[in-house]
Amino acid sequence: MTTSRYIVVADLKLHFHTMGSGPALAMFHPSPSSSESLLPLAKILADTYTVFVFDTPGYGKSDGLGFVPRTVKEYTAFFKKAFEAMKMDRFAIYGSATGAQIAIRYALENPTQVSHVFLDNSAHFDDALCEAILTHYFPDLTPQLDGSHLGTIWQIVSQMFQYFPWCFTTEEYALNRPQMPANILHMVAMDYLIAGADYAHAYRAAFKHERGMYVQQLQVPTTIFKWEGSIIAKYIDALLAFDYTNNVSSFLMEGDATERTHLMTQYMKDTATSFELFAAKTHFESYQPEDKIKYHKDVRTAPSVRDDGQHLMEAWTHLVEQNTLLNAEQIQSCLIDWYSN
């Protein structure tokens, strides 16, 4: 059974899902999504691990750090305090994309605490590409009352499955694959909307940390996963091209999404046989959702998802017209709630 919990660390609320039994596994998600994106994977692993799937500070239901973080270290310092409060003395870590960089940095700083690091969607970017990404990849998505930021979000999610990085639309960066269905694009767009104006905080810090030299410095057992057909395949290959000591290995997963997930989770389960069991003694608070903004709409359902993303603008315009006293951030909360029901 999946349980939604939180713990307060330095007056900040850290939200997570927990489930299962066995050795502890901490899971860190990509940006700008939340722990929700990892729940299908976590549920598979819960028959082997006691799984903790965290919302990175500032994402999902976790409070932000209270300042603009510049490095991954500022996130791992917070998680260090959280794990001490949770009495998690030794555990494995799975991280995907941004979460992989948090996993690497945490294991570098706390090697005796980490039994294994599983890196998914982890890559290497050279200095020139990283600088270009930091310059162009993160447009301002502050909610605007006229809804103009929605078009930018839809452009991002549409192009991210056609180019990587999404902001460079030349053949060099083309993925040459069919466009994702509109419902998938909508789901990713909702991640951006939920993350809000601060969506780029952990995202930017992760890109600056995405270097093979940090993986080379790891002292703990580490596995780099590579998915067949990954949109960042060539950057994963760049990471794998580094020379590593025997504690770092790679694992290639072929086949469709179901087959790849089975291969990865079975690998992680097999690895868990050598881990210590986890016994939690900390009391975690049950998560109580915050009160939603009360808003009006004169139709029951939100506009149907469209390929061009105009359903978001249609919904936004309707909400603005029906709720003239709300500001842009409040309208955005209403939009998220409308499409969540």
pLDDT at 277: 66
pLDDT at 279: 58
pLDDT at 204: 97
What DSSP letter does each residue of 36-79 carry, written as one string? GGGHHHHHHHTTTSEEEEEPPTTSTTSPP-SS---STHHHHHHH
Q: What is the mean pLDDT of the chain?
A: 94
C-alpha separations of 288 from 9, 284, 285 in Å: 17, 12, 9
Enumerate the β-bridge partners of residue 12.
Answer: 9
Structure tokens at 236: 């994963």
Mean pLDDT of 245-261: 93
pLDDT at 3: 85
Lowest mean pLDDT among 33-37, 145-149, 276-280: 276-280
C-alpha separations of 4 from 24, 84, 108, 120 in Å: 17, 20, 29, 24
- Per residue in 153-175, pLDDT (tens digit) is 999 999 999 999 999 999 999 99
pLDDT at 67: 94
pLDDT at 229: 86
- Per residue in 266-281, pLDDT (tens digit) is 999 999 877 776 655 5
C-alpha separations of 55 from 38, 69, 305 in Å: 10, 16, 27
52-89 core/surface letters (b: 16 or more CB in 10 A; e: else): bbbbbbbbbbbbbbeeebeebbbbbbbbbebbeebebe
Q: What is the DSSP letter of 225?
A: E
Whether omega before 57 lies within 30 degrees of 0, making that bond cis, reads: no
- Per residue in 180-230, pLDDT (tens digit) is 999 999 999 999 999 999 999 999 999 999 999 999 999 999 999 999 889
Of the candidates 211, 269, 272, 218, the residue with the CA atom closest to the CA atom of residue 248: 218
Is 34's pLDDT higher than 70? Answer: yes
pLDDT at 286: 80
Within a 10 A sphere around the Cβ of 305, how many other Cβ atoms? 18
pLDDT band at 68 (very low <50, low <70, confident <90, very high): very high
Is 106's pLDDT higher than 60? Answer: yes
pLDDT at 113: 94
Mean pLDDT of 47-54: 95
pLDDT band at 334 (very low <50, low <70, confident <90, very high): very high
Mean pLDDT of 95-100: 98
pLDDT at 284: 75
pLDDT at 232: 94
Residue 117 host element (H or E): strand 114-120
pLDDT at 283: 63
Mean pLDDT of 89-107: 97
pLDDT at 272: 86
pLDDT at 56: 98
Percent of the chain residues topping a pLDDT of 70 = 98
Mean pLDDT of 116-138: 97
